[in-house]
Amino acid sequence: MSSSDIDSILIEDRQFEPPAAFAAAARVDEKALAALHRAAQKDHTGFWAALAQTELDWETPFTQTLDDSHPPHYRWFHDGRLNVSWNCLDRHLTMDGDKTAILFEGEKGDTRRLTYAELHRETCRFANVLKQLGVVKGDRVIIYMPMVPEAVIAMQACARIGAIHSVVFGGFSANALKDRIEDAGAKVVVTADGGHRAGKIIALKAAADSAIEHSAVKPEHVVVLKRTGEAIPMHAGRDLWWHDAVAGVSDDCEPVWVEAEHPLYILYTSGSTGKPKGIQHSSAGYLLGTVTTMKWVFDLRPDDIFWCTADVGWVTGHSYVAYGPLAAGGTVVMYEGAPTVPDAGRFWAICQRHGVTVFYTAPTAIRALMKFGDEIPARYDLSRLRLLGTVGEPINPEAWMWYHRVIGKERCPIVDTWWQTETGVHMIAPIPGAVATKPGSCTIPLPGIDADIVDEHGNPVTQSDKGGYLVIKKPWPSMLRTVWGDDQRYLDTYWSKFDNRYYVAGDSARRDEDGYYWIMGRIDDVLNVSGHRLGTMEVESALVAHHRVAEAAVVGRPDAIKGEGIFAYVVLKGERPTLGSEQKLTEELRAWVAEQIGAIAKPDEIRYSDNLPKTRSGKIMRRLLRTIARGEEITQDTSTLENEGILGQLRGKE
Ligand code: 7RM
């Protein structure tokens, strides 16, 4: 797609100033923000160095802030040493070990509260278990867990001993888990007998067994948390129960001090090919980003009850459940289940029960809950809420206004935060006491983040109605460091387009007269389904792996709740099913994709044709397929189609 194709259609002119009462008490007001921006502009590395000194505890202080001698590989604070779990836990104990770290609620209503002292103890114990299993600094541990405190404990335990974790979302299938075990070369897998979600039990251990059975890499041990109590097979010598393993283990575990650049984790995310990318993050720079954004964007204060609804399987759950809130010494809420169990008031019931003050969720959840009307939230006391946030995809102004009016009672600022797995933390987002918001815009880049919008040649786009490539022009501490095991892919995907000068996010955006950013969508073949990134190629690879499928092309189309829905065009090896008789095969293929990737990747609709429309050079005409999926009039040139007759089939008319 060339940037000239990216014309903006969204016009929104409402603007909301920071509420006076909020601004007066905020950590960062307008004046403070101006000072931060000035400091960052004057001395980019000095700005980050000062924050790294004040916001993090170091075992060995760093002497060099940024090593930029080998772009686009950057090292931040590289000769300093610290420990992430120390910064999240130990350093708060001296202040107040009895402070609540985690407030947990299971889908069935069970609750648990862990103080900092308890979380510290559990983390140390589990770290000692990992050590006993032979895990040492640099080893990879896969975490495939429900949303329970032990998921965070396992992550923190890895960080404590310098092991690199890779959390795999519990909604992913055995096959997806297998790919990640192999790519990461995992030594240990931490899982559970199952988890509760939407009234069902997610059979995590069964999936883990199947993944390992088919994996070329064989993890030495599987630690299993008892969560549901379902009977599951245990493999003697390989598997051990979490509760058995921690029994009798010491509460003490000296942190392993690691270099600032030591990888904290690998998190797999979708790109434009079928193979997920292992995004590799650092220790110090990443952690610094989480703390600064907790304070700037979430305005986190000691008495806040912070709830980010994301699963720890996504980057949002890493930065704003497992690390950021703890590094900032806050109290974080974790909820295991679905937003609609037992009914669509669950989120608001949790907000009321735990006194949530800062609430962060995805536009898809807001849209889904909005559908149930204003009466449901009206049943709950939401008066403790003071700040709301969104992430994952552009929020449509209608959902923004509903969130503002019905949940925030026109009193809470809304922070629309643009960022990615790769950026580690918020990049473009309002600082709520300082920046006016506009529904649908993520507003302006944070201090120390040098974002821009450029054209095909890398020149800034200055017209406010023109879109372009969203790029970041200077390195920032929490940026990804590479793609695990595939540095070439790091270079190709993020840097080569503009000769290694700019980080290319893969999103298109425009900037209005006030300098506000409006994200317009992905430039590559990546779908955003319910705020989750999925490569069209991933879904295509899954489809063609089915014995009846010869070829497949997958495109996105707008979906009122999910943001984007999945539409698949399939060419079969044998006969095309006659119109009206495709139901059974469609269900089979949908179930197949769920098995290959996970239920989130199931196509909403599948259409069968004799061929796919291709250009003379053999490229699938995706634009045409998108037009058809949306049911729009075809304006593209179709004269190069070898078989114009397939148009009728693609439109489902023949
Ligand atoms: C945090 C996360 C990243 C992609 C990104 C965008 C889209 C995320 C917003 C957004 C518009 C937002 N990581 N995206 N946040 N688009 N406004 N506030 O979602 O790696 O899973 O996805 O999500 O396209 O590139 S992610």
Q: What is the pLDDT of residues 455-489, one digit of tens each?
A: 999 999 999 888 999 999 999 999 999 999 999 99
Cα 392 to middle of ligand 1, angstroms: 4
Name the residue type at position 422. E
Residue 134's pLDDT is what? Answer: 98
For ligand 1, whether the C-beta of 518 sits within 6 Å is no
Question: CA dihedral defined by 611, 615, 619, 624, rounded to 10 degrees?
Answer: -70
Q: Could you tell me whether strands 482-483 and 277-281 are parallel, antiparallel, or unpaired per DSSP bridges?
A: antiparallel
* pLDDT at residue 343 tops 50: yes
Omega before 603 within 30 of 0, i.e. cis: no
Cα separation of 612 and 255, whole Å?
A: 56
For ligand 1, whether the C-beta of 276 sits within 6 Å is no
Cα 465 to middle of ligand 1, angstroms: 21
Residue 8's pLDDT is what? Answer: 52
Burial class (CB in 10 A: 0-12, 13-18, 19+), 160: buried
Residue 12's pLDDT is what? Answer: 67
Rounded alpha-carbon distances, angstroms, from residue 200 to 175, 347, 601: 20, 18, 19
For ligand 1, whether the C-beta of 420 sits within 6 Å is yes
Least confident of 4-13, 474-483, 521-530, 543-552: 4-13
Give SS3 for 346. Answer: helix
For ligand 1, whether the C-beta of 534 sits within 6 Å is no
Which of 280, 318, 388, 391 gets mutated to test ligand 1 (max ligand atoms within 8 A of its CB)?
A: 391
Give SS3 for 555. Answer: strand
What rounded mean pLDDT belongs to the chain?
95
For ligand 1, whether the C-beta of 519 sits within 6 Å is yes
How many C-beta neighbours within 10 Å does residue 32 have? 16
* pLDDT at residue 499 tops 60: yes
- The model's confidence at residue 10, banded by pLDDT at 50, 70 and 90, is low
> In angstroms, how far is the first alpha carbon of the chain from the final one?
30
| Exposure b/e, 579-589, CB count within 10 A at least 16 = b | eeebeebbeeb
Residue 4's pLDDT is what? Answer: 39
* pLDDT at residue 586 tops 60: yes
Cα 419 to middle of ligand 1, angstroms: 5
Nearest Cα residue to 474 out of 455, 493, 500: 500
Cα separation of 277 and 268, whole Å?
A: 5
For ligand 1, whether the C-beta of 18 sits within 6 Å is no
For ligand 1, whether the C-beta of 391 sits within 6 Å is yes
The 10s digit of each residue's pLDDT in 156-210 is 999 999 999 999 999 999 999 999 999 999 999 999 999 999 999 999 999 999 9
Contact 605, 582 (CB under 8 A): no
* pLDDT at residue 1 tops 60: no
Contact 570, 625 (CB under 8 A): no
Omega before 475 within 30 of 0, i.e. cis: no
Give SS3 for 535. Answer: strand
Cα separation of 329 and 323, whole Å?
A: 10
The 10s digit of each residue's pLDDT in 54-101 is 999 999 999 999 999 999 999 999 999 999 999 999 999 998 889 999
Cα 155 to middle of ligand 1, angstroms: 23
Positive or negative: CA dihedral 493, 495, 499, 503 = positive
Cα 502 to middle of ligand 1, angstroms: 18
For ligand 1, whether the C-beta of 442 sits within 6 Å is yes
Residue nearest to atom 17 of ligand 1 (CA): 394
Bridge partner residues of 592 (DSSP): none
The 10s digit of each residue's pLDDT in 270-329 is 888 878 899 999 999 999 999 999 999 999 999 999 999 999 999 999 999 999 999 999
Cα separation of 123 and 115, whole Å?
A: 12
Residue 540's pLDDT is what? Answer: 93
Least confident of 346-355, 422-431, 574-583: 574-583
Cα 391 to middle of ligand 1, angstroms: 6
Residue nearest to atom 23 of ligand 1 (CA): 392
The 10s digit of each residue's pLDDT in 104-132 is 999 999 999 999 999 999 999 999 999 99
For ligand 1, whether the C-beta of 392 sits within 6 Å is yes
Contact 124, 171 (CB under 8 A): no
Residue 2's pLDDT is what? Answer: 39
Residue 118's pLDDT is what? Answer: 98
Least confident of 210-214, 267-271, 385-389, 642-646: 642-646
For ligand 1, whether the C-beta of 278 sits within 6 Å is no
Burial class (CB in 10 A: 0-12, 13-18, 19+), 614: middle
> Angle at CA 402, nearest 5°, toward 397 and 403?
95
- Region 222-241: mean pLDDT is 98
Length of the chain: 654
What is the DSSP-derived secondary structure letter of residue 246? H
Contact 334, 104 (CB under 8 A): yes
